[in-house]
Amino acid sequence: MFGFLLPSTAVDQITLVAGASIALLAAACILYRRLQEQNRRLSTALNNMSQGLNMFDAQGRIILLNKRYLQMYKLSPEVVKPGCTLKRLIEYRKETGLFAGDIDSYVKNILEAMSLGKSLEHYVKASDGRIVLAKNEPLPGGGWVSTHEDVTEQRRAEEERAAIRGQEQTARKHRLGHRVISANRRKASVHGERKHNRNALDLLDAFRLL
């Protein structure tokens, strides 16, 4: 009796294990495909952003970036890629002529602000005349996200409006100055006429007394 049961049980166990393995493999394949699809969607979303984007870990190494960032600063994906440090990134930007500041102080300011959990925002003037607004936002647990937006036209428009406001203020000051001068002249003229009239009356009174 047992001679027949053991082989049957062993076959059932093998069949069960094989079935479970196949199910796990199928689940792993489905999960892998889902992850691939999610990664593809994430990559598509990042690369369709109008802003350049960088994500750094707590040690200041790139863990994620999009194509817009590379295009904005004309950088090679062979150099700027996951694993590249912030300092090497800024060094490379200076080599390409798209960074004009002091590398060490720039990197130090960002790392210190991110370690303290402080947001950091500043304008970057590229050597080709473009102005980029860089925003660095710390992440919970360390690291930060850096976004870069070309605001050249916006800044130029703001500067033009500021220049127009300055000219208008100067013109108003000139007009006010002219009004003050004219008012003072009128006062002086009236005062002069009154003084002349008083002198004439005094002279007439003097003649009457003679």
Average pLDDT on 131-146 reads 91
Q: Are 48 and 144 in contact (CB under 8 A)?
A: no
Q: Which domain holds residue 112?
A: 50-150
**Do 144 and 161 sit in the same domain of this protein?**
no
What contacts 24+ positions apart, CB below 8 Å, involve 152-159?
155/123, 155/131
**Do 90 and 100 sit in the same domain of this protein?**
yes
**Do 63 and 139 sit in the same domain of this protein?**
yes
Average pLDDT on 57-72 reads 92
| Model confidence pLDDT, tens digit, residues 2-55 | 444 445 565 566 666 555 656 665 555 565 455 445 555 555 656 567 789 999
Res. 137 pLDDT band, cuts 50 70 90:
very high
Strand partners, 136: 120, 146
- Which of 131, 150, 169 is a domain's end point? 150
Cα–Cα distance, 142 to 115 (Å, whole number): 7
Q: Are 96 and 75 in contact (CB under 8 A)?
A: yes
Res. 124 pLDDT band, cuts 50 70 90:
confident
Cα–Cα distance, 84 to 79 (Å, whole number): 7
0.95 exceeded by pTM: no
- Which of 15, 32, 48 is a domain's end point? 48
Res. 173 pLDDT band, cuts 50 70 90:
confident
Radius of gyration of the chain from Cα atoms?
Answer: 39
Average pLDDT on 79-89 reads 95
**Do 144 and 56 sit in the same domain of this protein?**
yes
